Structure 1
Amino acid sequence: MVIGNYKVCNCFTVKFEVTEAEPPSDVREAFSKYSGDGAHMTADQLRRFLEENHGGDGGNVSISHAERIVEQILHQRHEHDIAKSINRDSLSFDDFHHFLFSAELNPPIRSQVHQDMTLPLSHYFIYTGHNSYLIGNQLSSNCSEIPIIKALKRGVRGIELDLWPNSSKDNVHVLHGRTLTSPVKLMECLKAIKEYAFVASPYPVIITLEDHLTPDLQDKVAQMVTETFGSMLFFPESENLEELLTPKNLKYRILISTKPPKEYLEAEDVKGSSSRKSQLFDVDDYSWIEGNSFKSGIDMRDHDVETEDLLKGKKSTSARAYKQLIAIHSSKPKNGLKKALIVEKGKVRRLSLAEQALEKATENHGQDVVRFTQTHILRIYPKGTRITSSNYKPLIGWLHGAQMVAFNMQGYGRSLWLMHGMFRANGNCGYVKKPDFLMRCGSKNEVFNPKEKLPPKTILKVKIYMGDGWHLDFEKTYFDKYSPPDFYTKVGIAGAPVDKIIRRTKIKEDNWTPVWNEEFTFPLAVPELAILRIEVHDHNNMPEKDNFAGQICLPVSELRPGIRAVPLCNRKGDQYTSTRLLMRFEFI
């Protein structure tokens, strides 16, 4: 080929053909065994296969259940070919392989709520958001009800709203205070919560209010909340709950959690340092602003005036209506972590700690944290320097029993993938029962010690057979302009420190349907909190530029044994239409 005066060698042949991979030998052997070397597998033979290889999926498999599966498979496979489906009541080998490789018919975890939901709320991990109204970064993005709706649709049960007076001090806005974020009206957020609270789950939604309001505006909030939610709103029978209610008893109810009004009015000394003033506004997140280059874009003076106005205001008896809304009273450590973690009998409360405060607490008072979370609620939130809405590692909170590990749900990355993975458990209802060992208390008040080095309790064997579907979900040139992708899979465990490990398969070059047939073994000391991480990448010559090709995190405690179809998700955690892996899980 000649371009101008230059001769160009056409060295690259563009080839994007998709070759169909042969089913794994394990699948062929299973079909041969249970079909009696026949050409078809009957419903009863499928039932036997499920019982003996899939652990019965939690119980004995009935013949009627197997017949329904056969009917579904035949309908999916042959709905456009009546001649192949009519009078058929058994599966061909291709049908059987289709069943095993179907993420809809043969998923890796159950989709139903199956845990005991009759225990107090302190017995559960709760799917919790941080600054739930922010669209993007923590400093300058817009505030909106849209991210609240997205979170509720995903199953999030903890929504956080920061309440501030508007410029004329006659209404309430939701925004990230002391930043450049644009506000959204509180009423818009409340309406969104009412409409979408129970779309994904019937279990209670907890609204955490970070309140920076005058008594008059607190009264206004009480009226808005009461009128918006009506009978959905849970009112505690007494000022302080002696024991938290259960998710089952609180179905379709909305709970408010915040500090009682008096905590915003009682300051011993407002003169002197601005840091004492800032405590009234729950600004643990923003200590980094002083001396930071971002400070120049934020006017702190109005907030100082507002603080003084609040402190000059008389205590209002009309604040009673606002106080009566509070189902779970919250607090922050004032006299040191040790005292904050003291268990108060007959007075349930929520304690909030920033991620770095949690690290300090778990380092010095780990068992006190575990003991506290057996009856009280512990909420963890990201440190203020995470202005890009990134997230911290959630396992340290869960390992110590923290129920509300609050995350920036728009902060996509591996930490959020782990959060998604944890709450895929228990039918994605937003409440996951904590392991029994976190709730046990011995005769001498001893509890689980997260620092103790435990021996393996079980062994998880994971076999990665093959993958498929990328050619349907991605453009042909997405991974490579001239040839099919070079896929490899990373698989590992996130969990207790002793269990953390990551492994990877070989690279399969130039193939849209890679076949690996590789097996990995993971000894697990704390399988109850282990999360299986799976990522697929397209290899490039520079590893840091490998192309992302899908991910999913799955709770190990929920994995169904046997050969399963594992769907993959994009970076945001949304499931691809077709892309999936065929894998086998086995516990020893």
Structure 2
Amino acid sequence: YMCAQLSLSLAGLQLDENLEQMQQGTMMRKVKSKNWKKQRFFMLQDDCMTVWYKSKMSGRAKSAFSVSDVETVREGHQSEVLQSLAEEFPAECCFTVVFHGRRSNLDLVAGSPEEAQCWIQGLQRLVEFVTTMDQKEKIDQYLNYLLFPLDKDGRMNFKEVQHLLRMMNVDMNEDHALQLFKMADKSETGTLEGEEFVLFYKALTQRDEVLELFQDYSEDGKKLTLLEFVDFLQQEQMEVNGTDELAMALIDKYEPSDTAKARHILSIDGFLMYLCSPDGSIFNPEHRKVFQDMTQPLCHYFISSSHNTYLMEDQLRGQSSVEGYIRALKRGCRCLEVDCWDGPNGEPIVYHGRTFTSKIPFREVVTTLEKYAFRATNYPVIISIENHCSIEQQDIMAQQLKGILGEQLLLTTIDGRVPVQLPSPEELKGKIILKGKKLGYLEDSLNGLADEMPEQEDMEEEEGPEEQLKLLLHVSCQFSLQKIKQSLSKEFSDCIIYCKSVPFSSFQHSRSHYKPYEMSSFAESKTRKLIRETGNEFVRHNAWQLTRIFPSGLRTDSSNYNPQAMWNVGCQMVALNFQTAGAEMDLYDGLFSQNGRCGYVLKPSFLRDTESVFSPENPESSGNNSPLILIISGQQLPKIHNKKEGSIVDPFVRVEIHGVPADSAKQETRYIDNNGFNPQWGESFQFQVWVPELALLRFVVEDYDKATRNDFVGQYTLPLTSVKAGYRHIHLLSKDGTGIPPASLFVHIQFREVPTE
């Protein structure tokens, strides 16, 4: 009980009736399908941060999740599984726990509406609490999580403390640990309790590198006066504007002592809180909001784009789900793909054609778009339609799009005139734009005219030998490999306005025959060939017309290509499989982490000029910043789950630059034996970057293993132009792209101009 009270007091959370009932536990049904519905006993742990659930039969703990892993809770039949069981279970008893990242949702059915509301309201309260925590509270939560399994009487002897240290990923010298233990044991009972353990933890987590930095600017070594803090902000953090006001605001925000705050003084605790906060992050806080010009033509932006958005797994047998669209839209994706085929009962369906992936009704996809399209950002959504439907079902598609989306669906040009260039994201706010084949020209449909047949079929994703090979390997011989040309429905064709799909012949042909509202799609291999052979022409082409890139058909495992080469020539819609974690999606998330995560990033000026001389293979420096990166230390790196019991990580850091070929580079620190808690590297690297506007900076922490492949620990990727100089914390992300507080790196970054000869 004492331990629970310590936990709640540290976290600043007060128990209410819902949380108390959740701690007593509730029997609910966990459902995965119409046929998989099993009773599980769910119980909120004493720390109020972890939920365990176990089988009714065995009583053994089956699984658990942390509240910090939960993104939201949906009430009622708001998942495909619960919708399919709507007749069996009333909506007021149902809810869905949605997790961050790629973890599957948890669909639950409570025994009564009251029990459902208890868990819905309780979880919502806990999620809100966790999301508003500051860094100190997150560290306290981490401490509570470690404390709970050890001792329920709230006391810890030295043996238990040693066990805790191993759980915290630190292999500490026994004599040093005992010295800290005795120092904290003020009651001299041979155990630590309550505030004694907090004292031990503070001594354990003392940051020598931060203290040294603090003392460099503090005359008495105990505090920073306002002027001393201003000196630090100007000389180290490269803050130049309004530093007096900034220093005052930061002291007011992060200094825990009211007395020090009143005297405009910053203590070491306040200094550390500042460095660990978003204001002390490597990411420029100004770039967390929309800060770029959003009034330029669509083709002047990189646009967050997903491939086969409906798939949750592989391309052959994986599950199709509207959850794929929800997840992509929530993370700011602005170009989604929909593969449409004739379905039963005259209703079009969405799936990966000629494979064994599951199918979803087109109507459900459109309903999901209407609901989630503008949750994350109000900038336009482009729906890339791969149309395999008959004319009859194309008419149904058009009717469903117009009926469900209403005013959101763009059905004419913004001013009723034929465009001479594409409109801007600002002009298209709140609009859903269809990309697909179209009968004739936009001019014709604006005048009420249209050809009976499309001028030429755009083969899209079935254009090359890779796709044919995929069909030969995975599709029964009853399917013909010959593409059957199909007519277009006029009703559907009229819905295509600014993104008419056209086949690509050459850049010269596009320039002389195509309009700004027409666009082509390229497989990754064709794109790489064009970049190698005609890089500058590709840059000029992308300055006036949209381009979409998609993964090879041979990527049946939903793997991804590196998108950087495509961005280097200005390709706007570089589509990746969002469901697949890895370095490629890290780069993607890194690029689109700026500009308020709105899904649109303004391309550099040399990629927006139709007469540009820029080529990524021979870059002409448009800036000459050369960053020097000093990696000082790491804090509380997570343990590797598949490592043997008691194993401690041996961490090292790899720093990568991704950009034009001349800029791409990586360097690594040494590894540190048995210390994932507070490793210190103190190593510096220098990178020369010729085109910083296209460069991404990626930090990767791995666990060194000389016998097998190194294990991934965490990473963080951001645009080089969003990097703040000075002493900065990097809050690491998991392989899934979600936070893993309080794991971080502490770095010092300087930008130096390379002298020109």
TM-score relative to the length of structure 2: 0.66
Which of 487, 490, 495 lines up with 1:324 in the alignment?
495
**1:219, 1:322 within 8 Å by CA — same for their partners in 2?**
no
Match of 1:95 in 2: 270
1:159-308 equivalences in 2 (<5 Å): 159-168=336-345, 170-237=346-413, 238=416, 241-261=419-439, 266=453, 279=459, 282=462, 284=464, 286-292=467-473, 294-296=474-476, 299-300=478-479, 307=484
1:260 corresponds to which letter in structure 2? K
- Larger relative contact order (C-alpha < 8 A, sep ≥ 6)? 1
2:479 corresponds to which letter in structure 1? M
Q: In 2, distance between residues paired with 1:535 and 1:45?
A: 34
Deviations 1:334-373 (A, max 9, x none): xx33455436575422210000111121222222211111
- The offset of 1:558, in angstroms, is 1.0
Match of 1:553 in 2: 717
**1:440, 1:448 within 8 Å by CA — same for their partners in 2?**
no
**2:330, 2:376 within 8 Å by CA — same for their partners in 1?**
yes
Q: In 1, distance between residues paired with 2:497 and 2:219?
A: 64
**2:593, 2:718 within 8 Å by CA — same for their partners in 1?**
yes
Match of 2:3 in 1: none
- Does the alignment pair 1:135 with 2:304? no
- The offset of 1:69, in angstroms, is 2.4
Q: In 1, distance between residues paired with 2:279 and 2:243?
A: 20
Count of residue correspondences: 540
1:382-421 equivalences in 2 (<5 Å): 382-421=551-590
Q: Using a 3 Å threshold, how does the CA distance of structure 1 residues 431 and 505 change in structure 2: closer, same or farther? A: same
After superposing the two structures, state which structure 1 stretch, 347-356 or 142-151, moved more: 347-356
- The offset of 1:97, in angstroms, is 2.1
**2:439, 2:455 within 8 Å by CA — same for their partners in 1?**
no
- Does the alignment pair 1:515 with 2:698? no
- The offset of 1:73, in angstroms, is 1.7
**2:692, 2:721 within 8 Å by CA — same for their partners in 1?**
yes
Match of 2:222 in 1: 39
**1:139, 1:181 within 8 Å by CA — same for their partners in 2?**
yes
2:419 corresponds to which letter in structure 1? L
TM-score relative to the length of structure 1: 0.84
Q: In 1, distance between residues paired with 2:372 and 2:230?
A: 39
**1:332, 1:340 within 8 Å by CA — same for their partners in 2?**
no
1:74 corresponds to which letter in structure 2? E
- Does the alignment pair 1:354 with 2:523? yes
After superposing the two structures, state which structure 1 stretch, 399-408 or 27-36, moved more: 27-36
Match of 1:364 in 2: 533
- Does the alignment pair 1:497 with 2:661? yes
Residue 448 of structure 1 aligns to a residue in which SS? coil
Match of 2:283 in 1: 108
Match of 2:297 in 1: 120
Q: In 1, distance between residues paired with 2:536 and 2:233?
A: 43
Q: In 2, distance between residues paired with 1:180 and 1:321?
A: 27
Unaligned residue ranges in structure 2 (runs of 5+): 1-161, 173-203, 442-450, 753-757
Match of 1:68 in 2: 249
Q: In 1, distance between residues paired with 2:749 and 2:717?
A: 14
2:311 corresponds to which letter in structure 1? L
Q: Using a 3 Å threshold, how does the CA distance of structure 1 residues 354 and 49 change in structure 2: closer, same or farther? A: same
Residue 55 of structure 1 aligns to a residue in which SS? coil
Q: In 1, distance between residues paired with 2:746 and 2:393?
A: 56
Q: In 2, distance between residues paired with 1:176 and 1:486?
A: 43
- The offset of 1:485, in angstroms, is 1.7
Q: In 2, distance between residues paired with 1:410 and 1:362?
A: 27
**1:155, 1:429 within 8 Å by CA — same for their partners in 2?**
yes
**2:633, 2:678 within 8 Å by CA — same for their partners in 1?**
yes
- Does the alignment pair 1:450 with 2:450? no
**1:128, 1:157 within 8 Å by CA — same for their partners in 2?**
yes
Identity across matched positions, percent? 30
- The offset of 1:565, in angstroms, is 1.1
1:138 corresponds to which letter in structure 2? Q
Q: In 2, distance between residues paired with 1:368 and 1:205?
A: 28
After superposing the two structures, state which structure 1 stretch, 494-503 or 240-249, moved more: 240-249
Which of 738, 746, 752 lines up with 1:574 in the alignment?
738
Q: Using a 3 Å threshold, how does the CA distance of structure 1 residues 344 and 556 change in structure 2: closer, same or farther? A: farther
**2:500, 2:517 within 8 Å by CA — same for their partners in 1?**
yes
Q: In 2, distance between residues paired with 1:150 and 1:44?
A: 47
- The offset of 1:86, in angstroms, is 8.3
Q: In 1, distance between residues paired with 2:529 and 2:733?
A: 34
**2:422, 2:498 within 8 Å by CA — same for their partners in 1?**
no
Q: In 2, distance between residues paired with 1:267 and 1:378?
A: 20
Match of 2:729 in 1: 565
- Does the alignment pair 1:468 with 2:635? yes
Q: In 2, distance between residues paired with 1:115 and 1:50?
A: 26
Q: Using a 3 Å threshold, how does the CA distance of structure 1 residues 295 and 262 change in structure 2: closer, same or farther? A: farther
Residue 498 of structure 1 aligns to a residue in which SS? coil
1:324 corresponds to which letter in structure 2? C
Q: CA RMSD in A?
A: 3.1
